[in-house]
Chains A and B, each alone.
Chain A
Amino acid sequence: AQTVTQSQPEMSVQEAETVTLSCTYDTSESDYYLFWYKQPPSRQMILVIRQEAYKQQNATENRFSVNFQKAAKSFSLKISDSQLGDAAMYFCAYTPGGAQKLVFGQGTRLTINP
């Protein structure tokens, strides 16, 4: 069975600094997608970034980027120039290619200190 592990239950960072959230996963599939979702106190699930496993290039979305290490099954999220609005729970998620059966990690609560 596929699993996703986030080993950092909580992280904090000073406003304007950079923070990296860790995620590892386990799968025997070769075709899959990886995601980072943000969940603010409103509880809405917001897609932050998506990575397709067959693409070697790391995905980026403005201040958000990933470090995708396929052989190590690692998928970390880097947030640059942290802003107060980035404070939220962040979930790493995996789905096999061709399906949308998301497997989520336990989440990391990110606090931004002004």
Chain B
Amino acid sequence: NAGVTQTPKFQVLKTGQSMTLQCAQDMNHEYMSWYRQDPGMGLRLIHYSVGAGITDQGEVPNGYNVSRSTTEDFPLRLLSAAPSQTSVYFCASSSRGRSIFGQGTRLTVV
């Protein structure tokens, strides 16, 4: 089925470790983005991309890196995990004013 695939669904990291959250879409959408969801705060934009090779920062970019080498993939890298990055992360793929979200990754940093 067409959609957005995020992996992993759950992850526990130790403070200082690095990891990459994977996001892939098969709808040929140009626009992809990453959000984090914290309790009582809704979703906040971390980084976004308007096409292969083009990325930009959102509202809460610190501590995260992204790249977009292909239209399909948009990975999110945590360089040195901190407890403040404990959250649920969503990837979204968008076209013509509609965003489709992946199922989310629950990340815990201890």
Instruction: List chain A positions with a Cβ less than 8 A from chain B.
Output: 4, 33, 35, 42-45, 47, 50, 52, 91, 93, 95, 97, 99-107
Contact = CB atoms under 8 A, between A and B. Distances in A.
B45 to A, nearest CB: 6
B42 A50 contact: no
A8 to B, nearest CB: 13
Given A100-B31, A101-B58, A102-B35, A47 B44 contact: no
Contact of B99 (A42, A44, A47): A47
Given A33-B97, A35-B99, A105-B42, 18 more contacts: A43-B103, A44-B104, A45-B90, A95-B97, A97-B97, A99-B50, A100-B31, A100-B33, A100-B48, A100-B99, A101-B48, A101-B58, A102-B35, A102-B45, A102-B92, A102-B99, A104-B42, A104-B44
Interface of B: 31, 33, 35, 40-45, 48, 50, 58, 88, 90, 92, 94, 97-101, 103-104
Contacts of A93: 43
5 contacts: A33-B97, A45-B104, A47-B99, A91-B42, A95-B97
B97 A100 contact: yes
